[in-house]
Amino acid sequence: MNENAPADRKTGAWARKIWLAYTLIALAGALALLAVYVNAYDDYDIGDRLRGLGRFTRTSMSLLTFPLGMPAGLLADGPLRAAFGCGDANEPCAIFVTWQVQFTALVAQIVFLRWLIARRFQSGA
C-alpha cells in the first residue's frame, strides 16, 4: 500500500479543481475575444479599428493557448488562410481562421492536461 495515497488524493483533487478553473477561464476568454471581434465586425468598413482589434484578438489567443497555440498556428494558419482565400493576416477571414486554429489548440491542450492529471493521480498509483 502506498503511504502517500491520502496526500496524493488531496493533491489530485486540487489539481482537478485548478484544471477546471483554467478550463472555464480559458474557454470563456476565447469566446469573449470572438464575441468582441464579431460585434465590431462590419462588412462595409474594414478600417484601422477593426484591423487593430484583429491584431489584439490574434495576439490574445496566442497568449491564451500557450504553449500549444504557437506550433498549431505556425503549422496550420498559413495553409488554411490560403485555402480559404484570405489575404492579409488582419483581414476578418484570416482572424476567424486563426481563432479557429487557436481554439482547437486550446481544447487539445485542455484535454491533454486532464489526461496528465488523471494519469498522475490515479488511485492506487
Per-residue pLDDT at 96: 93
pLDDT band at 121 (very low <50, low <70, confident <90, very high): confident
pLDDT digits (tens, 9 = 90+) for 29-51: 999 999 999 888 876 677 888 88
Buried b (16+ CB within 10 A) or exposed e, 72-104: bbeebbeeebeeeebeebbbbebbbbbbebbbe
3-class SS of residue 109: helix
Average per-residue pLDDT in the chain? 87
Compute the average pLDDT of residues 62-90.
89
Question: What is the value of pTM for the model shown?
Answer: 0.84
